[in-house]
Structure 1
Amino acid sequence: MSVFDNPNAQKFYIGGSWVATADASDIIVVDNPNTGAELAHVPAGTLADTDAAIAAARSAFAAWSQTAPAARADLLDAIGAEMDRRRADLIDAVCAEMGCPRHLTERFHVAIGIGIWGKTAQTVRDFPWDRQMGGAQVLREPLGVVGVLTPWNGPVTSVAKKLAAVLGAGCTAVSKPSEHTPFSAILVAEAIEAAGVPAGVVNMVQGYGATVGAHIVAHKDVDAITLTGSVGAGVAISRAGASNLKRMCLELGGKSANIILDDDGFAGAVKTGTIATMLNTGQVCFAPTRMLVPRHRAAEAEAIAKAVADGLKVGPADAEGVMMGPLVSAEQYERVGDYIRIGQNEARLVAGGPGRPEGLKSGHFVRPTVFADVTNDMRIAREEIFGPVLSILTYDDLDQAVEIANDSPFGLAAHISGQDSAQVASLARRLRAGSVYVNGATMSFDAPFGGYKMSGQGREHGEMGLEEFLETKSIVGL
């Protein structure tokens, strides 16, 4: 049976069971971005569905919060094992819902989404839940019910890493996945059920952000929100959750600078940086979309970036040799196209441009695009495009490179490529970003991840990710 014919896709996971919606009159149509045609549909959750999920989470919290950390860690391992058993289904879901090429889906979306459960389980086992500080006993205790709002650009990894941290901390969850990628999340919920997680600890309702998401955020029985989304969504959620001072963990947008130093590794770094910008069709919050190069090597950088962009094979997720799939939706296709047209009026087009690549007549495909002569006051340099669009900027010295890199409303990540380790380390300390990736390094799931400035608040991964969902209690005089 195809994951898209799964009867659970027409239900919600609430209180340990798959239950029908309170009102089946509204549906969410999920498109296949590879074709632009309808893929399947799921019910759109109602306020009554959301209330039932929150009530189940609240009821389950008392018992789950008292579960020993070691027992919670064992369950996280079991969920990872169940997801591994459904690996092929997860790959199929992401390829069809999101359009990521199959080999990249397996490597980045599914393998990481499976592995994060075991990594979080080890963090739970190693965490200092009880320690002495200045004569007091200091306890770390579960926060409560957490609303989990996840995006479409990491439909397995985002759901997995957030739920793993919430459950590992001893909290219960109400999850609302993106309406663009519900089927991946349903498979995660089925793995949670199969692993034997107690009823009500995890609840999942499909729905729109303006209804289900907003109701979760405003609800008095939800104690915290963890969101990956846009700056606009983060601001709205912060306001809506202020009435009961909800804890907020917000991973928002980015416009990451990529400083490439003037050394023998320059050509390779430009190639690597261009490819990184195009991966996942540019739908990556920490992608190195602002490439900063020495002014006297700008022409060289442009030629390399153009060759990379022009050489990337674009096509459906299951097509042979494809390196870049479609954007997730028609709305995203229009948004990215608008930014490419803005860029044509602001800067010089080096590669790509508006419209679909040659030979692709349908689907949400765009051309890998590179702009040169970009300055930091242009919209394509300041705003998050969330598509395969690279801007090349120039600097005269490293002080200016740092100034340009930090001159952004965002501060999620930054990238540096260079062969002088001491010079790179010095630069990294000067950059106002939550993570700095050196010489093509990838994300560490042991290190905290999150942003400065408008890129959000709070951290994910490792000990600090767990702490987002914990309270601190001091017992003095015992």
Structure 2
Amino acid sequence: MIDLSTAYERDTLFIGNEHVPSVGHERIDVVSPSTEEKIGSAAVAQEADIDRAVAAARQAFDDGPWPRMSRDERRAVVRRAGELLRPLADELTQLVSRENGVTVRYRQGHVAPFFDYHTDEVAWPRDELRRLPSGEGALVRHEPVGVVGAIVPWNAPVSLGLSKVLPALVAGCTVVLKPSPETPLHDHVIAEAFAEAGLPAGALNVVPAHREVSEYLVRHRGTDMISFTGSTAAGRRIGAICGEQIKRVTLELGGKSAAIVLDDMDAAAMAALVLHSGMLLNNGEACMAWTRILVPRARYDELLDAFCAALAAVKVGDPLDPTTDIGPLVAERQRDRVESYVSNAVADGAKVVFGGGRPKHLERGWFVEPTLLVDVDNSMTICREEVFGPVGTVMPYTDEEEAIRIANDSNYGLAGGVFTADPQRGLEVAGKIRAGTIGVNSLGVDIRVPFGGYKDSGVGRAHGPEGFAEYFEVKTVGLPAGFQPS
């Protein structure tokens, strides 16, 4: 029986389906971003612990039953784990909200869809027999890639963790999951559910660790693939290491996404959609957040007023309150970083038209007001770098070509949005934006469709059959003429 009452004090790692102490016995305190008080603590892995976890995953893959089970057998185990977690979904959401400050309103209902998709819907890569002109045959097969090191950030740890763990396990891989030190508590609950569901020992291991030890996992020769979500700076480092070792890697990195509002869009409807689905998404701590808002020059004042009116209705406060729109940022350093971006933008000539400070009604917690800046141009730092907070800029454009040029003038290419009364027109504009996911009057993100970036926003895809395929190797077996495999 899985008991969340013990989740807040984790003095062990999870390796080989067992709770084991860390070699160094180091612990990290987990502090509530809302109250600035300690809510729990967790063991932190050392390099020797990574060795143990990788060895367990390696043995489970090389000699264990998991990759040798049928698809349906693996799906049944994963389905059972999902069934065990469903009754705990609300408590799990609250636990994560206490860890990182993201509102329960935003994160509710994020567990079940991942399990449902990977157990019932996902399309498997197709094995096929191809006949060659010589009369010989070639059997094209897909096999699990092996041991996956999954490195997950703090901003959306459950959904991002499941988007790596589930396709890897269903494919037949084994996993070493490395949570962020800011959110180290909840993954033990997920691992316990898999163990209770019958997942063989070593197929899923959980080892929270600091950055230096995370790099040790990336470098470890016992891993066959690294799946990373995080900053572009860290992604470059990980990509370089994997390149040296010729190791498979997927990187879902940062963004500086643009929302293009076309001249035919209703102001009030557009403002609510752009802000809540984009700029304020996940407290603004979202790699795909639309933080560069481009509006037609002829409607600039009208649309700016609509944005400010929509922001005035945003409720900032306790993330556990289901009516709250925005909670605190994950850590004091993150709040300081966001405030520094705003003050530097003002020093560069930007003007704050909404927010810009800390909510006056909240005495404690790492809160930042939703903030909107104008009098900016796309060359300014605030428009070039990922802020990772509820901060956006509004820039006018003269015509669609200028809007598209500004949207594409970025080192990033993760996401974007187009807002218009004419979806066909929006589709045509979306086709000209160099980014991995563009929503036309929508976010455009779902577990069933691929997600990933162009340019500095990453390599590879998550979600959908394209994301599932990342966890397979492709093997060709040549066959003699006339042979028909059974």
Distance in 1 separating the partners of 2:376 and 2:272: 18
**Pairing 1:115–2:113 present:** yes
Distance in 2 separating the partners of 1:43 and 1:320: 31
Distance in 2 separating the partners of 1:285 and 1:175: 21
Q: What is the deviation of 1:147?
A: 0.2
Range with bigger deviation, 32-41 or 4-13: 4-13
| Aligned match of 2:27 | 27
The answer on whether the counterparts of 2:89 and 2:111 sit within 8 Å (CA) in structure 1 is no
The answer on whether the counterparts of 2:8 and 2:40 sit within 8 Å (CA) in structure 1 is no
Distance in 2 separating the partners of 1:411 and 1:307: 29
SS in 1 for 2:30: strand
| Aligned match of 2:341 | 339
Distance in 1 separating the partners of 2:130 and 2:370: 54
SS in 2 for 1:353: coil
Structure 1 runs, 4 residues or longer, greater than 6 Å off: none
Aligned to 1:360, which of 359, 362, 372? Answer: 362
Aligned to 2:129, which of 127, 132, 135? Answer: 132
Q: What is the deviation of 1:41?
A: 1.1
Identity of aligned residues (%): 36
Q: What is the deviation of 1:311?
A: 2.3
Q: What is the deviation of 1:78?
A: 1.5
SS in 1 for 2:280: helix
The answer on whether the counterparts of 1:144 and 1:224 sit within 8 Å (CA) in structure 2 is yes
1:67-466 mapped onto 2 (5 Å cutoff)? 67-106=69-108, 111-124=109-122, 126-135=123-132, 136-211=138-213, 213-276=214-277, 277-319=279-321, 321-346=323-348, 347-354=350-357, 356-466=358-468
The answer on whether the counterparts of 1:73 and 1:121 sit within 8 Å (CA) in structure 2 is yes
Range with bigger deviation, 213-222 or 8-17: 8-17
Distance in 2 separating the partners of 1:331 and 1:123: 41
What are the superposed Cα offsets for residues 46-74 of structure 1, whole Å, 9 maximum, x if unpaired? 11111000000000003322221122222
SS in 2 for 1:430: coil
Which amino acid is 2:405 matched to? E
The answer on whether the counterparts of 1:117 and 1:161 sit within 8 Å (CA) in structure 2 is no
The answer on whether the counterparts of 2:423 and 2:440 sit within 8 Å (CA) in structure 1 is no
Task: Provide TM-score, normalisation by structure 1.
Answer: 0.95
Check 1:15–1:361 CA distance in 2 against 1; reply closer, same or farther (3 A cut). same
The answer on whether the counterparts of 2:11 and 2:27 sit within 8 Å (CA) in structure 1 is no
What are the superposed Cα offsets for residues 423-446 of structure 1, whole Å, 9 maximum, x if unpaired? 111111111000111102441211
Unaligned runs of 5+ in 1: none
The answer on whether the counterparts of 2:271 and 2:310 sit within 8 Å (CA) in structure 1 is no
What are the superposed Cα offsets for residues 399-453 of structure 1, whole Å, 9 maximum, x if unpaired? 1111000000000011011122221111111110001111024412111100000
Which amino acid is 2:353 matched to? V
Q: What is the deviation of 1:335?
A: 0.8
Which amino acid is 2:117 matched to? K
What are the superposed Cα offsets for residues 104-151 of structure 1, whole Å, 9 maximum, x if unpaired? 232xxxx22332022012345x41442123442100001110100001
What are the superposed Cα offsets for residues 362-412 of structure 1, whole Å, 9 maximum, x if unpaired? 111000000112211111111100100011011111011110000000000
Check 1:441–1:378 CA distance in 2 against 1; reply closer, same or farther (3 A cut). same
Aligned length: 470
What are the superposed Cα offsets for residues 205-227 of structure 1, whole Å, 9 maximum, x if unpaired? 1111222x111100111111001
The answer on whether the counterparts of 1:260 and 1:266 sit within 8 Å (CA) in structure 2 is no
Distance in 1 separating the partners of 2:192 and 2:306: 45
What are the superposed Cα offsets for residues 235-293 of structure 1, whole Å, 9 maximum, x if unpaired? 11112233321111000001111011111424311231122311321011111111110
Distance in 1 separating the partners of 2:197 and 2:44: 27
> CA RMSD of the aligned region, Å?
1.7
Unaligned runs of 5+ in 2: 133-137, 481-486
What are the superposed Cα offsets for residues 65-95 of structure 1, whole Å, 9 maximum, x if unpaired? 2221122222221221121122132022022
Distance in 2 separating the partners of 1:415 and 1:23: 47
Range with bigger deviation, 138-147 or 8-17: 8-17
Task: Provide TM-score, normalisation by structure 2.
Answer: 0.93
Check 1:254–1:23 CA distance in 2 against 1; reply closer, same or farther (3 A cut). same
